[in-house]
Amino acid sequence: MTKVSDTILKKIEQGKIEPMPVWTYTAKNILFWSLWALAVLIGSIAVSAMLFVVTHAPWALREVTYETTAGFVLDLLPYFWVIALGLMIALGFYNLRHTKSGYKYSLAIVILLNILISIILGAVLFIVGMGEIAENATGKLPLRESIFEMQANRWSNPMNGLLAGEIVDILSADDGEVILTLTAFDDQDWKINISDLSDEEIQEAKIGNTIAVIGLSEQSIDGQLSMYACAFLEWGECCDEPLVSVREIFEDDERTTNCRGVRPFEALRRLSH
């Protein structure tokens, strides 16, 4: 035995140094694989939520609710989920690299693998409804606006002619004027004049229904919030089928001029049955 080996063995003996147990290596490997799997799972949930957002976005109402497509897309983009996915891909890469043989794989391959698995698993999770659950659950986080909130906020803009809420009362006057009382999402009551709408539409307005109104907000002397409706649509699931058709009175001579130029009428017509 050489001097060096002699010294080493003496130090090992004196220091009572023992090899670290096998289970520590196994545990470490399992831990990193598990963390990788968790990162991929969360990334997949992010993908499923993104799919939900994109497929449940009110594309059909884009022209009605936004000035430009760019504005619509910017509002719609699921930034939260994109960032979440990016973080999980980075974490997944880090954890995979720390497994026993993970260092052999290049950055590109690991990231591609993570993205691919996230997309495939994300699609499966979307189909079973995980996307909606995730979008809903994270909606309450600070600085976060879920797609449900985004739509509700868009339709809580009476100054720009967009208002949604629940019909709580219907008043039909003898002169043919029909006024709905609508409780908006901020719990404020509005009077909605739907006199310019067709008889069919008026008949479809029922107490308890939630509707989205396009029209003109009006000043009233007594401070009552009111709006002149040019069209309304049912509030609810969108985009598998068009919402309730535009029911504005079609005959020129029967319609007032109040709504002229206010709403994107052609866009609304395209939504109709």
Partner 1 sequence: MRMHENATDEEIALSARKYRQDFAILVERYQDKLLRYIRRIGAGEEAEDLLQEIFINAFRYLNGFDPSLSFSSWIYRIAHNTTISAYRKKKIRPHGNLIEDGDEFLANIGTDEDIATELETKCSVEEINNALLSIKQKYRDVVVLRYVEELEYKEISDVLKIPMGSVASLLSRAKKNLKDEISGKSK
Spell out a b/e string for 33-66, using b for 16 or more CB atoms within 10 Å of the CB, else e: bebbeebbbbbbbbbbbbbbbeebbbebbbbbbb
CB of 241 to partner 1, least distance (A): 51
Report the distance separating Cα 153 and Cα 164, nearest Å: 9
Report if residue 159 touches partner 1, rule: CB under 8 A: no
- 14 is a site residue for partner 1 (CB under 8 A): no
Rounded Cα distance, 155 and 49, in Å: 22
Question: By rule CB under 8 A, what string of x and - marks binding of each residue 19-38 to partner 1?
Answer: xxxx-xx-------------
Q: Which two tokens stand for residue 63?
A: 């022209």
Per rule CB under 8 A, is residue 9 in the interface with partner 1?
Answer: yes
**Which of 14, 16, 70, 103 contacts partner 1 by CB under 8 A?**
103
Nearer to partner 1, 99 or 146 (CB): 99
> CA 269 to CA 272: how far, in whole Å?
5
Q: What is the CA radius of gyration of the chain?
A: 30
In the complex, the smallest distance separating the C-beta of residue 94 from partner 1, rounded to whole angstroms, is 13
User: Given the complex with partner 1, which of 29 and 210 has the nearer CB atom?
Assistant: 29
Instruction: Examine residue 4 and tell whether it contacts partner 1 (CB under 8 A).
Output: yes
66 vs 105, which CB is nearer to partner 1? 105
Stretch that binds partner 1, among 41-49, 103-111, 248-256, 260-268 (CB under 8 A): 103-111
Amino acid identity at 51: L
Beta carbon nearer to partner 1, 27 or 83: 27
Judging by DSSP bridges, how do beta strands 226-234 and 210-218 pair with one another? antiparallel
Q: What is the secondary structure of 211-273 as a DSSP string?
A: EEEEEEEE--TT---EEEEEEEEE-SS-SSS--SPP-B---TTTS-STTTTTS-HHHHHHH--
Binding of partner 1 by 16 (CB under 8 A): no
Q: Does 12 bind partner 1 (CB under 8 A)?
A: yes
Q: Interface with partner 1 by CB under 8 A: which residues? A: 1-2, 4-9, 11-13, 15, 17-22, 24-25, 100, 103-107
